[in-house]
Amino acid sequence: MSIADILDRKDVSWMDGSGPDSDIVISSRVRLARNLYKFPFPHLLNDTTGAEVMQQISQAVNRSKDKVIKGLELVTLDTLSALDRKILMEKHLISPEHAIASEPYRGLMVDKKGSLAVMINEEDHLRIQCLLSGLQLNQAYKYAQTVDDALEKLLDYAFSEKMGYLTACPTNVGTGMRASVMLHLPAMALANQISSVVQSITQVGLTVRGMYGEGTEAEGNLYQLSNQVTLGQTEEDIINNLWVITVQLATQERNLRERLQKEIKYQIEDKVMRSYGLLTNARLLTSAEALSLLSDVRMGIEMGILSPVKREVLNQLIVAINPSHVQKAAGRELEPRERDIKRAEIIKEKLLAS
Amino acid sequence: MSIADILDRKDVSWMDGSGPDSDIVISSRVRLARNLYKFPFPHLLNDTTGAEVMQQISQAVNRSKDKVIKGLELVTLDTLSALDRKILMEKHLISPEHAIASEPYRGLMVDKKGSLAVMINEEDHLRIQCLLSGLQLNQAYKYAQTVDDALEKLLDYAFSEKMGYLTACPTNVGTGMRASVMLHLPAMALANQISSVVQSITQVGLTVRGMYGEGTEAEGNLYQLSNQVTLGQTEEDIINNLWVITVQLATQERNLRERLQKEIKYQIEDKVMRSYGLLTNARLLTSAEALSLLSDVRMGIEMGILSPVKREVLNQLIVAINPSHVQKAAGRELEPRERDIKRAEIIKEKLLAS
């Protein structure tokens, strides 16, 4: 399995719905920001110095006898089409910023399942990310750490005894770690509890964002929860803090769903079934509407209202409805109206087949 | 076949979608208002005089050797439950006013197919109504006339050489006839042409009303078109005038549908399919929403967008979604919320079975 396979496959590891608490926690992600000693940070690189960084890293990877490193495939962004980079972004393997870059000194390493993705020369020289299904923050951290340790043996990291890992942006200095979970909170949204939750979460040092990270809006009742602070806390503290809050929110969401099913059973079933009816019949669907309807259906599946549809199909669809995936499926560039038509076809087919 | 059968059956003659221009003209109706000489009009009847009128009519019917009269079944309203009277009203066989009456001197005669219904002691002593599928005004008039002629042989009608047939309400004096058609005009409604159509129709002596006649609103893009004048025009003139306008409107509606399918094919298909998706999946449906969605689906069937569903199923559903039909199907009285649940079940079942 290679990057080409990942581009062709509908699912990568985090979508499979197999992880703990997958009814509410779609995925867990840990990323470590690392930089090479003696090189300028990526935003100051030129073609020559950028190529040197890339060479250092690729040589280290090639030289490594570590099993986990040997399982990684490295590509430079210039070898990927703009559409394919966006596909990788929509699958959450690279950032929106990395998706619009195409210099040969920028790159990506992935493992076979697509659960590990290392961006090269994005904001930092190395961004080691592990993305797993459900609530698996510890496992994600361990996997990222293994890769980090193996690379550290071969590369000179920029590290200060006093500050920790040095990074391009000061907000990442220290552990260089950001841990996040993607949560599906439709019942809380229905009960208008999101804004108060966001408020109290901010007070404990966490940030709430939309599905595609910083600057994106929360669509489809999907919220990305992450740590704000990287300095003065150990990795374990950061992960534990996020884990506790996540478990708490998942419990709250589950309790609310139960209450809804008791108190307004028919309205909830009606909402879910109407959304399913629209998704399986509409001829035109924008991604925003589709995401909102998929949110209802995903909740309906977890509540047993729509039992025949599988959770992983919903997780796949959350990604498959994005513009680049829709165009990849059509095999050509599409006008927005054509995308809405193709998107409706994809959704209908996937839902009715599952 | 009897009134009991009509109450149990989902369809009566006018719903079967077999008549000419049934894509747009749901039904044609002709009714003749007749009164007996020497009796006060129904609103002045008491139990005694009312019973005398009823006796005159029932004796005439029993005595008649006319085939069409012998095919009629007569019941008095006191023998029908309140629910059954409403069922007959929802099937358009009796008026809303007749449905809330239960005196034994008020009654109803129907033929086996439910295409002829004579109300006894409604606003007039006799209201002979013929209701046929599609655009069949002449046929409806002929059928009503046959019954009228047969009854006139046995009863003394209140008739003035100068004024024509005398009726309780002066607006019916003369021919005593009202002819109407029920039209389905969703494309005109979409194109915002209804109000200008209503205006020009009023100028040629016709009235536009909702589905259940005077005082009811036009829901589901269903419009009842009828003559306003009964005096100074022959029956043939009235029918011909209405027929010409109906053919004109049907042509206009058809042309508009063709244009929509050319110019906004996907939006139209999307609208139709979404409505179908909601009707086959919703758990709660009010009659107003159901009627509006059924209107889209009916148009979709006629435009070939939703080919597997049959026209008569849609016509039946337009009636079957009404409160009394829904309660009859449930076998008991239902709260509004329970009706919405049962209505959604009925619609889903009928549409998916067809």
Interface test with B, best of A266, A267, A281 (most B CBs within 10 A): A281
Query: How big is the CA angle at B121 (ends B116 and B123), to the nearest 5 degrees?
Result: 90
Q: Is the pLDDT of residue B232 over 90?
A: no
Contacts of A306 in chain B (CB under 8 A): none
**Same domain, yes or no: A143 and A284:** no
pLDDT at A62: 92
Q: CA–CA separation, A27 vs A9, rounded Å?
A: 18
Chain A closest-CA separation from residue B288 CA (Å): 16
- Above 60 in pLDDT, residue A1? no
Structural domain containing residue A279: 264-353
pTM across the whole model: 0.92
Residue A213, pLDDT above cutoff 70: no
- Which of B231, B255, B279 corresponds to the end of one domain? B255
Please give the share of chain A, as a percent, with pLDDT higher than 90. 84
Shared domain for A185 and A307, answered yes or no, is no
pLDDT class of A219 with cuts at 50, 70, 90: confident
B299 and B251 assigned to the same domain:
no
Buried b / exposed e over A41-67, threshold 16 CB at 10 Å, is: bbeebeeeebbebbebbeebbeebebe
Rounded to the nearest 5 degrees, what angle is found at the Cα of B41, between the Cα atoms of B35 and B42? Answer: 105
pLDDT at A244: 95
B97 pLDDT higher than 60: yes
CA distances (Å), origin B236, targets A31, A146, B21, B226, B248? 85, 94, 20, 14, 18
The domain boundary residue, chosen from A231, A255, A279: A255
pLDDT in tens, A17-49: 999 999 999 999 999 999 999 999 999 999 999
Q: How far B106 CA lies from chain A's nearest CA (Å)? A: 42
Q: A130 and A269 in one domain?
A: no
A77-116 confidence digits (pLDDT tens): 999 999 999 999 999 999 999 999 999 999 999 999 999 9
Q: Do B281 and A267 touch (CB under 8 A)?
A: no
Domain total for chain A?
2
Of A270, A280, A284, the CB nearest to B277: A280
**B295-337 pLDDT tens trace:** 999 999 999 999 778 899 999 999 999 999 999 999 999 999 9
Residues of chain B with Cβ-Cβ distance to A274 below 8 Å are: 277-278, 281-282
The pLDDT of residue A211 is above 80? no
Q: What mean pLDDT is reported for chain B?
A: 93
Percent of chain B with pLDDT over 90: 83
Shared domain check, B249 and B268: no
The reply to whether B38 and B99 lie within a common domain is yes
| ipTM for this model | 0.90
Q: Distance between alpha carbon B338 and the CA centroid of its chain, in Å?
A: 27
If asked whether residues B150 and B18 sit together in one domain, one would say: yes
Mean pLDDT, chain A, whole residue set: 93
Region B244-264: what's the mean pLDDT?
96
Higher-pLDDT residue of A176 and B217 is: A176
pLDDT at B231 over 90: no
Contact assignment for B273 to A283 by CB distance below 8 Å? yes
Distance from CA of B312 to the nearest CA of A (A): 22
Q: How far is A274 from chain B (nearest CA, A)?
A: 5
- Quick one: average pLDDT of B119-146? 97
From A203, A233, A255, the end of a domain falls on A255
Same domain, A143 and A194: yes
Q: What is the CATH number of the domain that holds B123?
A: 3.30.590.10
Residue of B nearest to A340 (CA): B266
Same domain, A221 and A300: no
Mean pLDDT, residues B163-179: 92
pLDDT bin (cut points 50, 70, 90) of residue A205 is: confident
Give B5-23 pLDDT, tens digit per residue: 888 877 899 999 999 999 9
For residue A212, the model assigns a pLDDT of 61
**Confidence band of A259 (pLDDT split at 50, 70, 90):** very high
Instruction: Let me know whether A251 and A286 are in one domain.
Output: no
Q: Which runs of E-coded beta strand occur in chain B?
A: 25-34, 73-76, 107-110, 116-120, 126-133, 159-160, 164-165, 177-184, 206-209, 222-227
Q: Which residue has the tokens 């490594």?
A: A64
Q: Same structural domain for residues B85 and B188?
A: yes
Cβ-nearest to B269 among A267, A279, A283:
A283
CB contact under 8 A, A270 and B282: yes
Predicted confidence (pLDDT) at residue A230 exceeds the cutoff of 80: no
Instruction: Kindly report, residue by residue over B186-197, the tens digit of the pLDDT.
Output: 999 999 998 888
Please give the average per-residue pLDDT across B275-301, as a whole number: 97
- Whether A302 has a pLDDT exceeding 90, the answer reads yes
Using one digit for the tens of pLDDT, what is the confidence trace for B31-50?
Answer: 999 999 999 999 999 999 99
Q: Mean per-residue pLDDT for A122-126?
A: 97
* Closest CB from A270, A279, A281 relative to B284: A270
Half-sphere CA count of B212, side-chain side, radius 13 A: 19
Beta bridge partners of residue B222, listed in sequence order: B184
Is 90 exceeded by the pLDDT of residue A11? no
B155 shares its domain with B283: no
What integer pLDDT is reported at residue A269 of this predicted model? Answer: 97
